[in-house]
Structure 1
């Protein structure tokens, strides 16, 4: 990662690259990682994504950015679904402020792809999305929120003792975002 931006009161790590020698507004790409899967995997989230962003810049001439959602990598905070949505919205704002792109395209894997769909559906600045293995919903997490909370702690996505302050609200967030509904709202954009 080569910098940071702020989401709410949290500092999030990001990697931002501009293609050399390309003037003017360029298309902007944000690559979103998925939810970590293994023990302490949250610390390694998006570890190889800077290489992908570099390729988009060098081969396609796009401005590219990837970042660590809260609770992952070098970013502050603890995982919550609403928090990750807020983080992606802040990432879009940051890319626009830093680079004035001609448009924004989102690429996301797993949970990152699902939330890219949810955010893009309500943000006309997003011109297109590409998804790799997105979740259709978060119902399996919502069905057993305490078990999922423990899993999030085990993998390091939740690090703060006593988080979340309001478990019921944290659990409700798992049902709030519906990627399949968002995909219908996003259409006909690609």
Structure 2
């Protein structure tokens, strides 16, 4: 595979990522845009991050983009949840400008908070042909309390930049109301949606997956991974589920 360090602009902010391309592939290929969630301030030795997931996707023949949303990682800017939607629109613009990308076979794979952003953008942007969601919150009162805690803690630990405590108490509820996934997921149809969730997710209750599934329209699929927790990219069965579904939807 070939790995290219890339960057693109979003609202004038420099967004940084990596593009993974299968080698010896002269024709445009089915493509996956991966959206991370709120970055964890704690990394374990076995967690290689999203590059490990991108490598698995590219081994299956997909061009794959991973990038840092504004206010995270090597990207510029301050954390703004609704601003992440513009970052994803800009990521799609970037991908559609690349000769390696088949723009008619473009999927978004989002995790946790990034899955919420994926739903919103896919509902509005028909360039997205399929959406796969991992550990996506439906934003009940219980989920919102946990989400606010995560934002504040991630800000304190440095994995989110900006005045996260002020944002978490004043603006995050306004942004979540705009992004409310149960409102937007039904608007993705007739394009397919996959919902994957860990049975023992410690951050987002598995009930949220069923709430989202009930609001989604066909074609839709839900897969609950036994014993799996929140970080589904570290779960072999979950990754296999994503790959098999993406092959079916993008290679048909």
Which TM-score tier does this pair reach, normalised by the shorter chain? Answer: 0.7 to 0.9
TM-score in terms of structure 1 length: 0.80
Aligned match for 1:21, one of 19, 24, 29: 24
Q: Does 1:9 align with 2:42?
A: no
Gap change, CA 1:71 and 1:176, over 3 Å in 2: same
Q: Render the CA deviation track for 1:101-150: whole Å, top value 9, x for unaligned.
A: 23210111111111111110111110101111101137568679987764
1-structure distance, mates of 2:152, 2:53 = 32
User: What is the deviation of 1:71?
Assistant: 1.4
Gap change, CA 1:112 and 1:162, over 3 Å in 2: closer
Aligned length: 183
Aligned match for 1:154, one of 153, 156, 176: 156
TM-score in terms of structure 2 length: 0.62
Which consecutive residues of structure 1, in runs of 5 or more, have no partner in the other structure? none
Query: Within 5 A, what are the aligned runs for 1:30-69?
Result: 30-38=33-41, 48-59=49-60, 61-69=61-69
1-structure distance, mates of 2:68, 2:176 = 20
Partner SS state of residue 134, structure 1: coil
Higher relative contact order (CA 8 A, sep 6+): 1
Partner SS state of residue 114, structure 1: helix
User: What is the deviation of 1:51?
Assistant: 2.3
Which consecutive residues of structure 2, in runs of 5 or more, have no partner in the other structure? 193-252
